Structure 1
Amino acid sequence: MKKRVLVAMSGGVDSSVAAALLVEKGYDVIGVTMQLWDYSQNETSCDPNSKFDTCCSLDDVADARMVAHKLGIPFYVFDYQDDFKENVVDYFTDEYLKGRTPNPCVACNTFLKFDHLLDRAQRLGCDYVATGHYAKIVYDESYGQYKLLKGLDSHKDQSYFLYSMTQERLAKVLFPLGELTKPEVRVIAEKYGLINASKKESMEICFIPNNDYAKFIANRVQESDLIKGSIKHEDGQILSEHDGIHQFTVGQRKGLKISYPNPLYVTRIDSETGTVFVGEEKYLYRSGFSFKKFHSIRNIRNESQFEVKIRYRSSPCSAIIDMSSDKVTLKFLSPQKSVTPGQIAVLYKDNEVLGGGFIDKVFE
């Protein structure tokens, strides 16, 4: 009997090729698109001349439907807009209002793409859920556990966004693109004659028009919710005033609107006083941080030294983890720049993702 797979199809080429490969391998494939955001409520996103380059729009739903028709598989659209607003958009807004920098893609993967899809797959009698992520899953007999590994294509590897996967989820998830590069994926799409074979990638956060975070947040809250205050140099000098800490993130250089002899960066944000601290590059370096909501994919308490990525595009650096108390802490072997509260730090050992969590308190 064929194994049945529920494939999350965003309308992009990656998830479309994932579905095609599973059909080719003989799986009983069902395609689904998650409707997450009501674009009709956003004039910018509905403007065909807008630079709003995203995924999951109505055009993307249509592309996913056409690919499913081409592959001869059933296709459904599920409405998760309320869940998306609560778990992703509201979280994103609240974090910026607190002077922290969130990662909505991780929240979407954790609370929607796998949580809801695995539940839906079970109700549809599916054995697995599959996505177009560039990552790999292997079962290690020696550990008796599943491992999450980096994708073969180092430029497209998305294992960072999957650090919150559990053993139960890894047993039910397939990543058909894990051994492929992006150019190879496009060649496969061309071979199948898929409508989106040459479709450009979505680079921005799906619900933020023109990548303008500050405007999006300001439009969603009351004026009284915005925490205003001073922009202060690390030496104590007040340089300017600002209209809300939601406009800033650690490491930011552009948009400070400050005249100063040296280039300045946001070094830290005090949400209690509304103070945005700035300074020269030397003030950006930190020795470590504590985790919030730390999660490990498998048992790692017998290990202490790892490679860590403190943001998706950062290079891994060596660090030591202390898990001896309730609060997991990390110390870099050499100081790192722009360690940002609210961002995700992910632990690696060679090509394996071992876990991670939110960056909480940063150490000087």
Structure 2
Amino acid sequence: MKKRVLVAMSGGVDSSVAAALLVEQGYEVIGVTMQLWDYSQNESSCDPNSKFDTCCSLDDVADARLVAHKLGIPFYVFDYQDDFKENVVDYFTDEYLKGRTPNPCVACNTFLKFDHLLDRAQRLGCDFVATGHYAQIHFNEIYGHYKLLKGNDSQKDQSYFLYSLTQERLEKVLFPVGNLSKPEVRVIAEKYGLVNAAKKESMEICFIPNNDYAKFISNRVQDSDLIKGDIRHEEGQLLGVHDGIHQFTVGQRKGLKVSFANPLYVTRIDSETGTVFAGEEKYLYRSGFSFKKFHMVRDFGNDIDFEVKIRYRSAPCQATLEKNGDFVSLRFKTPQKSVTPGQIAVLYCDNEVVGGGFIDKVFL
């Protein structure tokens, strides 16, 4: 009997090729698009000058449907707008209001694609869920565990976003394009005559019009919810005032709107007082941080030295993992720049994902 796979089809070329490859490999494939955000109803989408870097918009749904028809597979649209608002949009807003910098793509993967969608797949009698992520899964038969590995294309690797996957979920997930490069994926799409073979990639957050985070958040909350306060130099000098800490993130240079002899960066944010601290580049470096909601993909025994990425596009650096009961922290071998509370830090051992979590308290 054929194995049945539910493929999350965003309307982009990666997930479309993932579906095509699974059909080619003999799986019974069902295509599904998650309707996450109503662009016609939310924020300034009625403004013709507003631009979204969409994912799962009406055009994307149409593209996914055309690809499914081309491949001869059934296709469905599942409405997850309420779940997306609660687990992604509200989380995104709340974190910025607290002076932290969230990663909504990780939240979307964790709570939507690899939680709700896996549950739906099981109810439909599917053996697996597949996506177009550039990552790989390897089963170690000797030790009986799964490894989450980087994608072969180092420029497109998306393993960072998948650090929260458990062994139970890895058993039920397929990444058909993980061993391919982006150019190879487009060649396959052209071979199949897929409508989105040359479609551009989405680079920004899908639900933010014009990539204006501050305006998006301001439009969603009351003015009384915004934490306002001073902008101070790390040495104590008052530089100015601001209308809300949600406008700032650690490492930010533009938008401070203060005059100073040297270039200044946001160095830290005190949500209790509303103070945004700024300073020269030398003030950005930190020795480590504590984790919040730390998760390991598999047991690494007594290993403590790993590489860590403190942002998706950051270069990995050497660090030591420290555990004391439930308290987990990381110490860099050399100080690192712009370590940002709320962002995700992911640990690697060579090309394998060790685990990760939210950056919580940052150490000087």
- TM category (shorter chain) comes to over 0.9
Match of 2:118 in 1: 118
Other-structure match for 1:171: 171
Alignment RMSD:
1.0
Separation (CA, whole Å) in 2 of partners of 1:329 and 1:51: 39
In structure 1, distance between residues paired with 2:240 and 2:232 = 7
**Shift in Å, 1:53:** 2.0
Amino acid at match of 1:187: V
Indicate whether 1:142 and 2:142 are aligned: yes
Task: Name the residue aligned to 1:34.
Answer: 34
CA–CA separation in structure 1 for the residues paired with 2:199 and 2:50: 17
**Aligned residue type for 2:348:** Y
Aligned counterparts of 2:347 and 2:13: Cα–Cα separation in 1: 29
Distance 2:233 2:258 in 1: 11
Q: Is the 8 A contact 2:52 2:207 kept in 1?
A: no
- 1:182 and 1:46, CA in 2 relative to 1: closer, same or farther beyond 3 A? farther
Structure 2: runs of 5 or more not aligned: none
Shift of 1:204: 1.1
Which string of whole-angstrom CA distances, capped at 9 and with x for unpartnered residues, describes residues 228-272 of structure 1?
Answer: 000000010000000000000000001111111100000000000
Query: 1: distance between equivalents of 2:112 and 2:19?
Result: 19
* Partner Cα distance (2:141, 2:303) in 1: 19
SS in 2 for 1:361: strand
For the pair 1:14 / 2:14, whether they are aligned, the reply is: yes
CA apart distance, 1:142: 3.0
**Per-residue displacement from partner, 1:300-328 (whole Å, max 9, x unpaired)?**
24110000000000000000001232100
TM-score between the two structures when normalised by the length of structure 1 = 0.98
Query: Percent identity over the alignment?
Result: 85
Cα deviation, residue 143, structure 1:
2.5
| Cα drift, residue 52 of structure 1 | 1.9
The answer on 1:338 being equivalent to 2:350 is no
Deviation of 1:38 after TM superposition, in Å, equals 1.2
Q: Please give the alpha-carbon distance, in whole angstroms, between the structure 2 residues aligned to 1:141 and 1:330.
A: 31
Give the corresponding residue for 1:290.
290
Aligned residues: 364
Q: C-alpha separation between the residues in 1 aligned to 2:47 and 2:124?
A: 37
TM-score of the pair, normalised by structure 2:
0.98
Q: Is the 8 A contact 1:230 1:240 kept in 2?
A: yes
Give a deviation string over 1:1-23, Cα, whole Å, max 9, x none: 11000000000000000000000
Aligned-partner Cα distance in 1 for 2:55–2:78: 15
Q: How does 1:154-303 map to 2 (within 5 A)?
A: 154-303=154-303
Structure 1 unpaired stretches of 5+: none
After the TM superposition, which segments of 4 or more aligned residues of structure 1 sit over 6 Å from their partners?
A: none
Contact (CA 8 Å) 2:231, 2:277: kept in 1 or not? yes
After superposition, the C-alpha distances for 1:272-317 in whole angstroms (9 at most, x for unaligned) are 0000000000000000000000000101241100000000000000
Structure 1 contact 54–203 (Cα < 8 Å) conserved: no
Q: Does 1:82 align with 2:82?
A: yes
Cα distance in structure 2, aligned partners of 1:243 and 1:47: 25
What amino acid does structure 2 have at the position aligned with 1:328?
Answer: V
